[in-house]
Amino acid sequence: MPLHLFVGNDNGNSEHDIVIDGKLIRQPNVNCMVDKLPWSDEQAPESFIKHLQNQLIVTIDSPAVRPGMYYIGKFALDSGELVDAIQVGIDQKCDVDLPVVNTLAQIAAAGVQKSYEDDKRIPEQLEVEIDMATALPVTQHSDESSLKFEQKFMEGLHHVTVHLGKQRVSVRMTFRFAKAIPEATPVAFALQKDAEGRWREGDIFAEFVAAYGLPAQFNGSYFKDKRILHTDIGDGSTEYPITEGNKFLRQFVHGSHHGAGHAIEEALDAFNKLIYLPDSPRQFFSDVIKNPQHKYHAKALRTLARPLEGQARHIAHNIRKQLTKARNEIDVICVYGGGSILMRSILYPMLKELCDEREIRLLYIPSQYAVTMNAEGLDHFVRGKIYETLKTKAQQTG
């Protein structure tokens, strides 16, 4: 019997957040192509299973991407090899191999782990069938680009070999259906409902409730008919779409090439000088910033402060432009994404003043949820009625 997996897949410029069978996996969204395995000694294949995502090596044979052996995510970043990443402001996600390679690799690895969990042994081969919801940035999303991205997964069979030391597991993957929706649309789902489909509540809304004197029993039903201006701050770009309930308003598509990644690029030379390195990748700097225990954390923050303020001001300016276009007919500005965490101390006061002037409420998502809102929403979406309806319709017309 093939293994069936539901996948909510958010391919960010910096981080890959993917929910497979209800489990969230977070990895740097990088890989590198190599020509041989790094292990010379024999290691028990079972020793790889638990932390497989952190030592992930796959060989891919697929009609969608260049065939070859790849180090994936953290393992690629730590390998010292030249890594491939999404080129901010240059790459269209539907055109490049990286999102497809990393998605296939993570699903294959999760399939191996699930099979081992169920049968307590490592399979030689595995059949996996997948239902997947993914997203494209609003500025890249169109009927053509979404179809192109979906078909990379749905057309043909994908063969992925997962390497557990010297042992190989052959994974044959078929996508029953894949749907690419505009980023931010899934967040509208994630604000309203939790993973079990109940109205969402809890500490994600605590600051919002306190700031506006809302009732203690506040929950996600509040957002079901609200007009929300999303501010999804990523590594290299920020998206400013508007949703009404679960509906994406196509006439308000707007994005800008501002984000934490640009501030990091600007700060990188100064950071490298401070730590006596001739060069280091952007992802290394990102990891140092995210880890308060890292010995270079304080130096990284120091070099980042001024570039970050410049990016925050650009983002606030773009929000004003969207508000003008929407005639201020917005109920909530909702800020999230990896970049929102770094910018919070600068951006929150700017936006709070702006919102108070225009009688709009500001929901600045807490750091523990900010990065994974799109992935959570995609997980809700792939298990929901709208996805099932779209899938049925596609199968009938196909």
Whether 88 has a pLDDT exceeding 80, the answer reads no
Would 3-182 and 186-375 be classified into the same CATH topology? yes
| pTM, rounded to two decimals | 0.89
In tens, the pLDDT along 329-348 reads 999 999 999 899 989 999 99
Q: Tell me: domain 3-182, CATH 3.50.50.60, correct?
A: no
Mean pLDDT of 371-389: 92
**Sequence spans of domains, the chain:** 3-182, 186-375
| CATH of range 186-375; options 3.30.230.70, 3.40.190.10, 3.10.310.70, 3.30.420.40 | 3.30.420.40
Interior/surface letters 99-122, b for 16+ CB within 10 angstroms, e for the rest: bbbbbbbbbbbbbbbbbbeeeeeb
In tens, the pLDDT along 93-104 reads 899 999 999 999
Question: Positive or negative CA dihedral for 257, 263, 269, 272?
Answer: negative
pLDDT band at 89 (very low <50, low <70, confident <90, very high): low
In tens, the pLDDT along 125-168 reads 999 999 999 999 888 889 999 999 999 999 999 999 999 988 99
Mean pLDDT of 270-293: 87
Size (the chain), residues:
398
Return the higher-pLDDT residue of 45 and 178: 178
For the chain, give the longest Cα–Cα distance.
65
Whether 378 has a pLDDT exceeding 80, the answer reads yes
